[in-house]
Chains A and B, each alone.
Chain A
Amino acid sequence: MENLTFKDFKSDQEVRWCPGCGDHAILAALQRTLPKVSGDLGYDREKFVVVSGIGCSSRLPYYMNTYGFHSIHGRATAISTGIKVANPELSVWQACGDGDALAIGGNHFIHAIRRNVDINVMLFNNRIYGLTKGQYSPTSKLGAITKTSPYGTVEHPFNPGSLVLGAKGTFFARSLDVELALNSEIMSAAALHKGCSVMEFLTNCVIFNDGAHKSLSDPALKAEHTIVLRHGEKMLFGKDKGKGLVYENGAIKSVTIGEDGYTIDDILVHDAHCQNPVLHMALVDMKEPDCPVALGIIRDVADISYDDEVRKQVEKVAASAKIHSVDELLRSGSTWEVK
């Protein structure tokens, strides 16, 4: 095992994202996290594969000095699935945007989650089509004014977290492009999770959707507008952690400790490992202004993973089989001699 550093994961290619694009920060987080992942998994650099579809974020594999596959629009998840099934010993990372994963590639996305293929999907959600210069995406907010919706969109967006949990996802985390430390924490956990780990990064597109996540990333606002969830910890947020989340009448509610009779004991403790997804669903669905937007690892539960089951079934069948070569196969069943 080599001791790798972030430099080992930087390729010689010039990074061509717009200055100020949120993608730079996510790339940096990945390059800084993979040396740690390498140690955790006992993997040298050649065991990492970065796959992508089409879109701004999908240029990412070219900037990683690993094996990389920049594929076609929407299909990265299917290609990742093939890579992982063919060689479960690889650590597969996928970069995709909201259009790539949720519009053209929506089918592959939900099926990889359903199958729980052991891949790490980084979903760069900037709520806009950047590479085609500013059309609305399936995560653009209702009413969003873009080049293809000059009078505002008339369709509801997807909430990626709801989609993941609806497809029985086993790992979902959310963060912001600029949160380097949190992103690194999430990536490390995703790497160790056996199954399809979906990481939604709310990303800023400086050109076509600047400030889309401003209320979450602005240092003056983020304490009140976001909550970072950590397994086993109380769900506290706000300045001086004076606010928290409680569960009442089948819904999550944001309260101030010390007001309306709420004490610290009423505040929920985050259990990312809980199989029952009801609370996780409520957490991913939280919206401003009633509640803070949930960040961190919201769900991380154990289940069988597809690639592992495929491998085990092949081994099991092979172990008890009577036919071990093509010659034997050709002569199995009904045959006859012509003399």
Chain B
Amino acid sequence: MQHKVIDTEDVVIRFAGDSGDGMQLTGSLFADMSAIYGNGLSTFPDYPAEIRAPHGTVSGVSGFQVHIGSGKVNTPGDFCDMLVAMNPAALMANAKWCKRNAMILVDDDAFDDEGMKKAGFVTDNPFEELHVEDRTLLIAPITTLTEESLKDSGMDIKAIRKCKNMFTLGMACYIYNRPLEYIYQYLEKKFSKKHPEVIAPNRKVLSDGYNYASNVQAIADTYAVEPSGDLEKGTYRNITGNQATAWGLLAASEKSGLPLFCGSYPITPATGILEELAIHKNLGARTVQAEDEIAGICTAIGASYAGNLAVTTTSGPGLSLKSEALGLAVITELPLVVVDVQRAGPSTGIPTKTEQTDLAQALYGRNGECPLPVVAAHSPADCFDAAFNAAKIALEHMTPVILLSEGFIGNGSEPWRIPQMKDYTAIRVPFATEDDLRDGKFRPFERDVETLVRRWAVPGRKGFEHRVGGLEKNHAGSISSDPDNHALMVEERRRKVEKIADFIPALKVEGAKSGKLLVVGWGGTYGHILSAVREINSASVQVGFAHFDYINPLPRNTREIFAAYDRILVCELNSGQFADWLESRIPSADIARFGKVQGQPFLVSELVSAIKNEMK
């Protein structure tokens, strides 16, 4: 049979296996290699909460989806062109994500009676049982081939079997015409110091996988996704949202000249930010792994009081625990960034699955009248700017800020055109000056007449000794339960947050600037909604699309933009929390909702149907 290389614009591959099979690594390597090759890409790790769930069961399946394209890619893709299933459970859990013409690669060795039973198959033909027998099936004895490949390596059988993911990666590299050089370099870098002995076996098994694929009859054609060259020129790197968040905070620390302090308690899926910051002591970052979520935010509040750029990172349940302390940061008017990498709730919910269900908690979840700015990141790389901007708002406006990220963008990755710090605006910290003293005393809650921002005097500063605290104060900083003073302070704190709208970018619209429908989103659904709107607009119907990075306060032009459309369709991964917020802010708008609460990102296809439905 003649072997053909078919050029294609994009391809989606889903690697799935037992949670100990190394699928996250396999997927990341394939992604990184494609990024360096010049492709656009987006990734989506989809893994269970258990570190090693019962072997061979559906609950223990770990998946990693990679979408690579000639140009920019906005989502990890709804359905896959190729599914790699390392065991029957992985096939059981993921067959539904295969396109009609998908290729399915399985490790035949894992499809024994026991494996089939554990996965819950009731017949002896898993493909027919799942109605995917008409896809291109590549059934390879991957475990046996890996054992054969490494039989002379001197490694024990357990270690050899662990290399089967590299055999699989080798096969995928052949099928998608990826050079192995990048992975060789990765192995060299990762192991040359500590475990040089594993480099040669891994290289061998990788190239044996590659060669095996080239000899398999079933692989008639291979695919090439050549970079189109329409990516913006510059230096790129691949980055996850959590890493970008950590780096954005470091950037704000550098720009403001304040040391970065992070007090956090580990929680999925936010832990990566604390881990990343813990590495960067070289840039002055101090991290405290606190005894609990409350101590995480309280150490941060202490550090903020002492003059640092203070941060605490968490996920939904942790934000609940921080509520009271957030109120303290609001009333003491101290700068603080709280990053919430949202996950499926309520309670422990589904820790490793993504959602946008903490918005209401972020906006309202505190006692008393307790407004604070809420901002959101819209993609893995955007987390850098979002974190930088959240820190800038916190410092310049003397307020805690909640930055909403999501498991999907926190763990997902995409190529990022590396910016230069000189292109970022300065962060001007409102430190108190001698002019702020009245009769030789510092009055901590006197405000700037324009912005209503108070001045910051940090312990160690002579002549500015003062007290702050959770009890209501007057402008001088003395405790006051005077009714009029309380009303005034509540009003000033509210207006201070509202005035931040003067300092954030205007809302932009993609597609139709007026008409029947404006599609609205916020946070990590950006790529999916953008893809859906572009698909709709490529036909005759035209809709507008506006995505919110700033939630409280809303951009100043929101009302004006909404007024140009008959209807607003808010798409979000919850039951309408942002729609409720918009309705309360802009009661004149006719707001429709499209929500999804399954712990999974949107599919572009379901968004397209929802938009079409709204246009009827």
Contacts and interface: CB of A to CB of B under 8 A. Distances in A.
Interface of A: 11, 13, 44-47, 49, 51, 54, 61-62, 65-72, 75, 78-87, 89-90, 107-108, 111, 310-311, 313-314, 317-318, 321, 323-327, 329-331, 333-339
Contacts of A85: 261, 286, 288, 299, 302-303
Given A46-B460, A70-B468, A107-B292, A86 B259 contact: yes
B280 interface: yes
Interface string B425-459: 00000000000000000000000000000000001
A44 B421 CA distance: 38
A46 B459 contact: yes
B306 A90 contact: yes
B235 A335 contact: yes
Given A330-B237, A330-B419, A334-B237, A82 B263 contact: yes
Contacts of B227: 338
Given A82-B288, A82-B302, A337 B478 contact: no
B281 A318 contact: yes
A44 B462 contact: yes
Contact of B303 (A45, A86, A327): A86
Nearest to A8: B465
A306 B18 CA distance: 41
Interface string B211-237: 000000000000000010101111111
B250 A326 contact: yes
A210 to B, nearest CB: 27
A67 B465 contact: yes
Contact of B237 (A11, A47, A65, A335): A335
Interface in B306-331: 306-308, 310, 324-325, 327-328
B459 A90 contact: yes
Contact of A318 (B284, B310, B332): B284
B467 interface: yes
Contact of A71 (B234, B328, B461): B328
Contact of B302 (A83, A323, A326): A83
Contacts of B229: 338
Given A46-B460, A336-B38, A69 B467 contact: yes
Contact of B234 (A87, A323, A338): A338
Nearest to A321: B282
A62 B254 CA distance: 34
B460 A47 contact: yes
B467 A46 contact: no
B510 interface: no
B466 interface: yes
Contacts of A80: 302
A69 B473 CA distance: 13
B370 to A, nearest CB: 13
Contact of B298 (A79, A89, A311, A313): A79
B282 A323 contact: yes
A97 B465 CA distance: 24
Contacts of B301: 71, 79, 82
A61 B231 contact: no
A66 to B, nearest CB: 6
Contact of B299 (A65, A81, A331): A81
A82 B259 CA distance: 13
Interface in B377-429: 417-421
Nearest to A337: B235
Given A327-B420, A327-B421, A337-B235, A68 B468 contact: yes
Contacts of B234: 337-338
Interface in B454-506: 459-471, 478-479
A335 B418 contact: yes
B132 interface: no
B324 A72 contact: yes
A232 to B, nearest CB: 36
Contacts of B461: 46
Interface in B484-543: none
Contacts of B232: 338
Contacts of A65: 465
A136 to B, nearest CB: 23
A82 B303 contact: yes
A112 to B, nearest CB: 9
B32 interface: yes
Contacts of B307: 86-87
Given A46-B460, A86-B261, A326-B421, A70 B236 contact: no
A96 B276 CA distance: 35
Given A78-B295, A86-B308, A330-B419, A336 B302 contact: no
Given A317-B282, A326-B250, A334-B238, A82 B462 contact: no
B298 A83 contact: no
A30 to B, nearest CB: 15
Nearest to A49: B459
A110 to B, nearest CB: 8
A61 B298 CA distance: 17
6 contacts: A72-B470, A81-B288, A85-B261, A108-B291, A324-B283, A327-B420
Contacts of B291: 78, 107-108, 111
B251 interface: yes
Contact of B290 (A78, A83, A325): A78
A65 B466 CA distance: 7
Nearest to B299: A82
> Max chain A CB contacts within 10 Å: which of B229, B236, B286, B308?
B286
B36 interface: yes
A246 B237 CA distance: 70
A81 B305 CA distance: 12
Nearest to B189: A334
Contact of B305 (A83, A107, A314): A83
B35 interface: yes
B300 interface: yes
B294 interface: yes
A61 B467 contact: yes
B210 interface: no
Contacts of B466: 67-68
